[in-house]
Structure formats: structure tokens, C-alpha cells
């Protein structure tokens, strides 16, 4: 019987997928961004950001990201010596967004330079179906495709339950904002999440990258609901950043704000990340948009946003 594979995950959603598949014992290294599940966070961290975002505004983070891309071509760097010592059989990474996590190209360069022989599993999800397929990718790389069947069925079952609950409901018009300075409309799987939860997405296209917009461009949409979901931010950080841009947010969604249908969410855990917890994000959205049909979300995950003052 062959030894279990040694897996290094340079992607937060990859670490969550490894756990969902019951392969946690195979995980020998994780990324600097991995923050879930708690029982896997003692693994060595094989990547680090090129700047410290702590205390920076969203505008300052955007500027730092752009500068890092100009100077280095990447926002993150790999601890090459550690990666070599970990001696992985499988490395999980992504090529969806160079800003969000260590990109596949950078991993290939390190493997070539260090002579590390490992299979790269690039989880390049752009849609909900892609995220679900990622479970199978990791399972196959680990040598046991069957371990993906149970978790996959469970996630699809939960999505079907939300879909059934909101069927025939009047879909509120939803404006999601994924970054505030500059403003971005969400793309990839988020527009699908909004639709699945019984909403009508107003800005951003499913399966396409998130798109920078202007405040003027979204200023006349007058959404029924406003979803504040800055990329990489938890609930309290989302609230603080929304507060800092309260004047603009009031202007683009005056009715939603006045009627208590503007929400901040734990975007990092349940919306921005292409891992299994996106299903919880769909359930959260369903409870916000259709409280008469689905349970209210945990207040640690989503809350009504009220502008300061």
C-alpha cells in the first residue's frame, strides 16, 4: 500500500477542500492566508505577502497591490526553502486572480528552480460548477477520486434546498460591491450565488472577472438590496470599510439603506473564496433576501448595515 500523498495548499479554499474531503492528515503545509478550519492551522506556512495590509485603507491596499504587481509581478512570495523541505507530492494553487492568492505560474517557477517534483493542482474556478468540480480535482490528485462523492452530494443538496425555497419568489434587485476604493462589481461565482438565493444581480457578470466600475456607473441603479462584501474582509472589517464610504453608499442605494436592506457580510469566508463554504454564503443570502422562506443568517456572518451618524 502506497504512502498517503504529502499536500501543500497555497490557497485558502484549497485547504478547506482538503478538509472537506477528509484528507487533513495529508496536509503538510498551508498558505499565509489560510484561516479555516482551525484544526489545520498548525501547519507551516509556505507563502507570505509582499506588504502588510494591517491598518491600511482599501484605497491604500489597492495602491500597494498595484505597486507590487509592477515591481514583482506578484503580490505574494513563496518560502522556497520551506517548500523544498516539505517535499510535497501535490501543491494546490490557482490561476484565477494574481491578487487573491499565490498564482500557478509562480509555483511552476519555484519548482523548476529548486528541482522539486510535485503535481500542481490549479483550482481555476470561475463558476459554482467549477467550485464543485474542484473537489474532484483534489481527490484525484490525492489518488482517491471516490472521497469527493459524499461531500459533493451534500453541497449540491443544500443548494437545491435554497433553490426550492425561493422558487417563484419575487426576486429583489441586488447590487453587490466587492471593493470600495475603487469600487468593483463582483464576478465569477457571486452573481450565480445571488441568483440562486432568489435575487436579480444588477452589476457584474457570472463567470467573468470582478470588474472595476465608477460610482457614477452604478449611481442610478437604485437597488432593492445592497450587499457589501469587500474581498478578503470579515464581517467587522467589511462594516468598518462600509462606514468609511458611507456617503457614496447612501448615494448609490438610498432606498435599500433607508429600508434596512443593506447588509455587510463575512465576505472572506462565504463569498470571495472558491471553497465549500460558498454554499453557506448562498444560504446566508437566501435568508437575507427572503426571510419569509429561509432562516435568518447567523449575526456573526451577516448584519444590517446602518450608516454612521
pLDDT range class, residue 154, cuts 50, 70, 90: very high
Model pLDDT, residue 96:
57
Question: Under 8 Å CB-to-CB from 192, ≥6 apart: which residues?
Answer: 127, 128, 206
Report the pLDDT averaged over residues 180-206. 97
Angle at the Cα of 231 from the Cα atoms of 254 and 295, rounded to 5 degrees: 65
Model pLDDT, residue 88:
95
Look up residue 228 and give its three cell numbers: 457589501
Model pLDDT, residue 73:
63
Task: Judge whether residue 281 has pLDDT over 50.
Answer: yes
Compute the distance between CA of residue 176 and CA of residue 201 in angstroms, rounded to an integer.
Answer: 8
Task: Judge whether residue 1 has pLDDT over 50.
Answer: no
User: Which domains occur in the chain, in start order?
Assistant: 7-124 (3.40.50.1980), 155-304 (3.40.50.1980)
| Greater pLDDT, 264 or 77 | 264
Per-residue pLDDT reduced to its tens digit, 101-136: 566 667 777 777 777 888 999 998 999 999 999 999
pTM check: above 0.95: no
Give the CA count within 13 Å in the CB-facing half-sphere of 13.
Answer: 31
Amino acid at each position: 500500500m502506497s504512502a498517503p500523498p504529502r499536500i501543500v495548499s497555497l490557497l485558502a479554499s484549497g485547504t478547506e477542500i482538503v478538509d472537506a474531503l477528509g484528507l487533513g492528515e495529508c496536509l503538510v503545509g498551508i498558505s499565509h492566508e489560510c484561516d479555516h478550519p482551525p484544526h489545520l492551522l498548525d501547519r507551516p506556512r509556505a507563502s507570505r505577502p509582499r506588504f502588510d495590509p494591517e491598518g491600511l485603507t482599501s484605497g491604500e491596499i489597492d495602491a500597494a497591490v498595484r505597486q507590487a504587481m509592477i515591481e514583482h509581478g506578484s503580490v505574494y512570495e513563496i518560502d522556497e526553502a520551506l517548500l523544498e523541505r516539505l517535499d510535497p507530492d501535490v501543491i494546490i494553487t490557482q490561476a484565477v486572480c494574481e491578487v487573491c492568492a499565490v498564482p500557478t505560474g509562480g509555483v511552476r517557477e519555484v519548482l523548476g528552480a529548486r528541482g522539486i517534483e510535485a503535481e500542481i493542482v490549479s483550482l481555476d474556478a470561475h463558476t459554482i460548477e467549477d467550485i464543485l468540480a474542484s473537489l474532484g480535482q483534489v481527490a484525484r490528485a490525492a489518488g482517491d477520486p471516490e472521497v469527493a462523492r459524499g461531500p459533493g452530494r451534500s453541497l449540491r443538496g443544500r443548494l437545491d434546498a435554497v433553490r426550492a425555497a425561493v422558487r417563484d419568489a419575487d426576486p429583489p434587485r441586488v447590487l453587490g460591491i466587492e471593493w470600495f476604493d475603487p469600487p468593483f462589481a463582483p464576478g465569477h461565482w457571486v452573481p450565480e450565488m445571488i441568483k440562486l438565493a432568489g435575487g436579480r444581480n444588477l452589476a457584474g457578470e457570472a463567470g467573468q472577472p470582478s470588474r472595476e466600475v465608477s460610482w457614477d456607473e452604478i449611481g442610478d441603479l437604485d437597488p432593492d438590496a445592497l450587499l457589501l462584501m469587500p474581498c478578503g474582509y470579515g464581517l467587522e472589517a467589511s462594516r468598518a470599510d462600509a462606514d468609511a464610504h458611507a456617503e457614496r453608499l447612501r448615494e448609490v442605494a438610498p432606498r435599500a439603506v433607508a429600508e434596512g436592506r443593506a447588509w455587510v457580510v463575512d465576505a472572506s469566508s462565504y463569498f470571495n473564496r472558491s471553497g465549500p463554504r460558498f454554499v453557506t454564503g448562498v444560504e446566508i443570502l437566501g435568508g437575507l433576501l427572503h426571510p419569509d422562506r429561509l432562516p435568518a443568517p447567523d449575526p456573526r456572518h451577516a448584519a444590517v448595515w446602518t450608516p454612521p451618524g
